[in-house]
Amino acid sequence: MKLHADKTAGNYIQSYREGAVLVNGEWQPTGLVVSADSLVAGWQAPALETLAIDDLAGALALDPEVIVLGTGPSHRFPRHALMVEVMSRGVGFEAMATAAACRTYNILLAEDRRVVAILL
């Protein structure tokens, strides 16, 4: 699936296919944390069921308004306790299928929002 962005600055996601995303002209395997000016490829993503607040420390250190969590080809929810813990820090936290997460990330980035996408 090709994605189109209106802006050229920042780390826009240009395309997504199962298991990989195209960022800045380079295919990156999922297991990726991306924001406007940060890209952490090769992130050792734990299983969604075991994802914990400590696993999100790098993403939270980027001071996001919202974290968009891509859960793979289908929409799945992380543990409720994790969602509550992230949101209690004043950070929005949305989980969705990775294709939707890529689109949502680009929209929020184009609006100059402090967004971080975590793509499992």
Residue-level pLDDT at 45: 81
Residue-level pLDDT at 7: 52
Which residues of the chain have a pLDDT value below 50?
5-6
Residue-level pLDDT at 4: 52
Residue-level pLDDT at 8: 53
Query: Distance of alpha carbon 19 from its chain centroid, rounded?
Result: 14
- List, in order, residues 6 or more apart from 94 with CB less than 8 Å away: 66, 67, 68, 69, 101, 104
- Counting the structural domains of the chain, the total is 1
pTM of the model: 0.90
**Any idea what the Cα angle at residue 48 is, between residues 44 and 52, rounded to 5°?**
75
Residue-level pLDDT at 46: 87
Asked if residue 60 belongs to a domain, the reply is yes
Residue-level pLDDT at 43: 86
Residue-level pLDDT at 10: 86
The CATH number covering residue 100 comes to: 3.40.1230.10
Asked if residue 57 belongs to a domain, the reply is yes
Residue-level pLDDT at 78: 96
Domain with 52, as residue range(s), is 13-119
Residue-level pLDDT at 9: 67
Asked if residue 24 belongs to a domain, the reply is yes
